[in-house]
């Protein structure tokens, strides 16, 4: 195994200057990977949220390496598999392990492309399978969605009432992802044609239009009118966040993805609809499932969810067909009517 001098654990605040690549050795890279990582993920243009997520997961991986007496850039494939086993042993969900290992692979890909390691030991390390077809069976019916609306409608604070209802409408009716809500800005709204430009997942800068229904725009207007005027909204540079936090630490600042999860989890618990394994993404599935049941038009569902691959959208039709056509009824044993 390659021998390296001791390396110190980097922190979220660690940031190196732009030194020549020839001056970057294994230890320097591990301690300052945050400077180099953005050039090799999300096509070289990651969002702050993506970069923060990758950084947190890589820091956790480096911490595990150092606690195990291993230099992060000297690990073998077998040792990375041991790290994967450690994640499984801690009962992380399969989709969480996927995200953690994606960050680890990005760490090694960056080191490999910078010629700091001869081989990438993480290439064949994969997470346990996530069964997406089964996850599509997790959705809320329109009646259940209405129960959640009623939870929010009982809030006497108009700001949080309409903000939370807007979150539900944008995810469960319009099909947005959690990260897209987090990134949304007031400047993205075109009031004249009732359209919103969505800052999609992946590379920063990608924007797709959606055309929400009148009911969603009605909630949007009530929410904006209810934003407290006695405090200034915290801007991100020149942009104004759309979904605002009500927490004391970040009042009227951009809400975090965890903040959105917390709001929805509290409402689901209050409505007795919270189940193990259900995340915010269930609302996007609910949109796809309910929209197909209402229209039987896969093209409409594909355009609403902005899915490029029609095979992905076709899963909603498959699930809907299975729900509506119980084929096994044709083979039920028939009782003898004469007995």
In a domain, 104, yes or no: yes
* 205 occurs within a structural domain: yes
Q: The tokens of 262 are what?
A: 């917390």
User: Quick check: is 236 in a domain?
Assistant: yes
- Please tell me the predicted confidence (pLDDT) of residue 49: 77
Residue 19 CA to residue 231 CA, distance in Å, equals 42
How many domains does the structure of the chain reveal? Answer: 2
- 156 and 79 share one domain: no
Q: For residue 155, give every residue at least 6 positions away whose Cβ sits within 8 Å of its Cβ, in sequence order, or none.
A: 161, 164
Domain end marker among 81, 110, 130: 130
Within a domain: residue 334? no
3-class DSSP state for residue 226?
A: helix
Whole-number CA gyration radius for the chain: 24
CB atoms within 10 A of CB 157: 12
Q: What are the C-alpha distances in Å from 136 to residues 37, 42, 283?
A: 33, 27, 10
Residue 216: alpha-carbon gap to chain centroid: 22
**Do 290 and 217 lie in a common domain?**
yes
Pair 284, 176: CB distance under 8 Å: yes
Same domain flag for 286 and 152: yes
**Which of 10, 15, 5, 109 is closest to 63 using CA atoms?**
10
Same domain? For 109 and 39 the reply is yes
Bridge partners of residue 209, in order along the sequence: 197
Indicate whether 313 and 241 sit together in one domain: yes
> CA 206, CA 200: separation in Å to the nearest integer?
6
Helix axes 48-67 and 94-113, enclosed angle (nearest 10): 90
State the pTM of this model: 0.68
Q: How many alpha carbons lie under 13 Å from residue 221 in its C-beta half-sphere?
A: 12
Q: Confirm whether 256 is domain-assigned.
A: yes
Q: Which helix (H) or strand (E) holds 7?
A: none
Q: Estimate the share of the chain in helix, then strand, then coil, as percent rounded to the nearest 5.
A: 55, 5, 40
Longest Cα–Cα distance of the chain, Å, equals 91
Question: Do 199 and 191 form a contact (C-beta atoms < 8 A)?
Answer: no
The reported pLDDT for the residue numbered 79 is 95
- 114 and 254 together in one domain: no
Residues 299 and 223 in one domain: yes
- The predicted pLDDT at position 134 comes to 46
Which helix (H) or strand (E) element contains residue 267? helix 257-270
- Please give the chain's pLDDT, 339 residues, in tens: 444 556 666 654 445 455 666 678 999 999 999 999 999 988 888 877 788 889 999 999 999 999 999 999 999 999 999 999 999 999 888 878 988 999 999 999 999 999 999 999 999 998 876 554 445 558 899 999 999 999 999 999 999 999 999 999 999 999 999 999 999 999 999 999 999 999 876 555 578 899 999 999 999 999 999 999 999 999 988 999 999 999 999 999 999 999 999 999 999 999 999 887 677 888 999 999 999 999 999 999 999 999 888 888 888 888 788 778 888 888 889 776 565
Cβ pair 174, 216 in contact under 8 A: yes
Identify whether residues 125 and 138 lie together within a single domain.
no
Within-domain flag for 176: yes
Domain, as residue range, for 122: 21-130
- 65 plus 191 within the same structural domain: no
101 domain-assigned: yes
Q: What is the pLDDT of residue 47?
A: 77
Domain of residue 218, CATH code: 1.10.443.10
């Amino acid at each position: 195994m390659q021998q390296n001098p001791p390396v110190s654990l980097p922190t979220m605040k660690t940031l190196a200057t732009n030194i020549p690549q020839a001056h970057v050795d294994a230890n320097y890279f591990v301690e300052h990977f945050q400077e180099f990582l953005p050039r090799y993920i999300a096509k070289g243009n990651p969002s702050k949220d993506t970069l923060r997520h990758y950084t947190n997961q890589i820091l956790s991986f480096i911490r595990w390496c150092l606690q195990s007496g291993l230099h992060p850039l000297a690990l073998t494939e077998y040792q990375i598999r041991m790290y994967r086993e450690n994640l499984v042993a801690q009962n992380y969900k399969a989709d969480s392990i996927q995200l953690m290992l994606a960050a680890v692979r990005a760490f090694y890909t960056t080191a490999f492309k910078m010629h700091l390691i001869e081989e990438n030991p993480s290439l064949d390390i994969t997470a346990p399978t996530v069964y997406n077809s089964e996850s599509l069976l997790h959705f809320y019916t329109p009646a259940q969605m209405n129960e959640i609306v009623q939870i929010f409608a009982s809030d006497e604070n108009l700001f949080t009432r309409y903000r939370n209802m807007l979150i539900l409408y944008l995810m469960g009716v319009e099909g947005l992802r959690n990260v897209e809500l987090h990134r949304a800005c007031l400047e993205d709204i075109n009031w004249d044609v009732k359209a919103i430009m969505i800052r999609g997942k992946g590379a920063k800068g990608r924007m797709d239009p959606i055309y929400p229904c009148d009911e969603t725009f009605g909630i949007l207007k009530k929410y904006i009118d209810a934003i407290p005027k006695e405090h200034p909204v915290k801007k991100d540079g020149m942009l104004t966040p759309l979904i605002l936090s009500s927490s004391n630490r970040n009042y009227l600042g951009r809400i975090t993805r965890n903040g959105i999860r917390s709001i929805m989890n509290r409402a689901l618990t209050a409505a007795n609809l919270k189940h193990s394994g259900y995340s915010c993404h269930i609302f996007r599935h609910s949109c796809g499932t309910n929209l197909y049941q209402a229209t039987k038009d896969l093209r409409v569902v594909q355009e609403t969810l902005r899915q490029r691959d029609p095979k992905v959208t076709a899963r909603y039709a498959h699930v809907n067909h299975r729900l509506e056509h119980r084929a096994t009824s044709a083979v039920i044993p028939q009782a003898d009517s004469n007995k």
